[in-house]
Amino acid sequence: MSTQPRSTRLTYEDYLLFPDDGKRHELIQGDHSMTPAPSTKHQRISRNLVIAMGAFIRQHALGELFDAPCDVILSDEDVVQPDVLFVTSARKGIVTDDNIKGVPDLVVEILSDATRKKDEVTKRKLYERFGVSEYWIVDPELETVKVFRLGHHQYIRTAELSTEAHDTLTTPLLPEFRLPLADLFE
């Protein structure tokens, strides 16, 4: 008889059994977390971003844009639902009919009181570890966007943009895309 302890880490197979209850369920290193549905302010920001980016991406045939809920399977024990994610045309093979199986090129998380620490610390480290090229953290309260880009296997904060400074959001992943922060937070 074996005396080795049993692993309590959850997997994607366990994740598929979670209830469809309107909450966001995620696995990070096999640990389950759940957050309530986002606020209307959060949803407005998400909508503004998806409309602006989506039109640009379609017009230039650059890839595919998805918004939550959309499962991103980074590993069997790491399944997340970013607020917004982008996969370039060159990497479209990770997009399946059911989910994203692999690492998106860009991930955006919009902060809330319930997700602030998880988005700024836990998920930033997770996305960095799996090699997400670019990670944006959108703060609705401060009306700022922190931009992290992967360099030598770690994130470098390349910008902290604000409405107060009349900044415009850009990314090398979407050449010529420009979104004034005032439009994002309107």
Q: What residue ranges define each of the domains in the chain, with the CATH number in brackets?
A: 38-184 (3.90.1570.10)
d(CA 142, CA 57): 27
Rounded to two decimals, the pTM is 0.91
Give 126-178 pLDDT, tens digit per residue. 999 999 999 999 999 999 999 999 999 899 999 999 999 999 999 999 999 99
The residue-averaged pLDDT of 77-87 equals 97
Q: What is the pLDDT of residue 108?
A: 98
- For the segment 38-61, what is each residue's pLDDT rounded down to a tens digit? 899 999 999 999 999 999 999 999
What is d(CA 39, CA 10) in angstroms, rounded to the nearest whole number?
28
The predicted pLDDT at position 7 comes to 59
Give the strand pairing for 31-35 and 78-80. Answer: unpaired
Bond from prior residue into 175 cis (ω within 30 degrees of 0): no
pLDDT band at 8 (very low <50, low <70, confident <90, very high): confident
What mean pLDDT do residues 66-73 have? 96
Cα–Cα distance, 174 to 180 (Å, whole number) = 15
158 SS3 class: strand
3-class SS string, 54-76:
HHHHHHHCCEEEEECCCCEEEEC
Half-sphere exposure of 177 (CA within 13 A, CB side): 22
Tens-place pLDDT, residues 101-115: 999 999 999 999 888
Q: What are phi and psi of 167, to 5 degrees?
A: -75, 160
